[in-house]
Amino acid sequence: MSDYNEMELMLSVASRQLEDNSVVIVGTGAPCAAAMLAQKTWAPHMTILFEAGGTGPELTRMPISVGDSRTFYRGLWATSMDNIMSMLQRGEVDAAFIGGAQIDMYGNINSTVIGDHSAPKVRFPGSGGANDLASLCWRSICMTIHSPKRFVDKIDFVTTPGFLNGPVSREKAGLPPDTGPSRVVTNLCVMGFHPDSKRMMVHTLHPGVTRNEVQENTGFELIWSDDINETPPPTDIELELLREQIDPEKLIIGREVQLR
């Protein structure tokens, strides 16, 4: 199983960002597949939450929505959205997956509009619960395709806060201290954020990807870790789980990653 596609690589890398004995809130699609993979490998005691109320289910099949009955199957708790959001406010959720149309150097995300808010070129669904998740979880993880249209110097609308304008910006805005974006997983690399400047910083390059390729597909100047390594590819066990148990219909892993 040495051959893998970019989506399988992204899912395996994203799953490795999750920790055992943690509480993680996910949506459907790729974030759910990554969480399922983590739970079936190195994080068997991880508790998965869904926004509609499913808490700690046994995920035998991929749910198609956050309210799918499969998100409650053999769960610890069948509750409601207000209780899930209350858990966020109490600081009981360790990590969340976040996505969107645009992201800037501080991890702020736009999933609302392209262009002026009053007369947008494109209007997207908006936050859903993403603002709450990124504001109140201890850390957030973004999975996205790497392109200059997504990684921009200035996003058109701040739907979901990252580090806002840099150091201490979150705290000044009233968000809990020691929270914020943690990792950005793309089809080219894995990035984090510089501990002082809070700017996006490259940690590992995916196999066959160069520094120039990453920078050329980013609309702002990246920071580079002092020790850039190659991202470990998916293992045979990870690929087997993704293909045979988590997504046998290939709804996620069968998607073609857009050309960058």
- The residue annotated as part of the active site, out of 51, 92, 221, 230, is 51
Range 171-200 burial, b when 16+ CB lie within 10 A, else e: eeeebeeebbbbbbbbbbbbbbbeeeebbb
Instruction: Report the alpha-carbon angle 18-23-27, nearest 5.
Output: 75
Q: What three-state secondary structure class fits 70?
A: helix
40 near 245, Cβ under 8 Å? Answer: yes
Q: Which of 92, 194, 196, 202 is nearest to 136 (CA)?
A: 92
In the annotation, is 92 catalytic? no
Q: Give, in degrees to the nearest 5, the angle at Cα 201 between 162 and 33.
A: 65
Residues forming the active site: 51
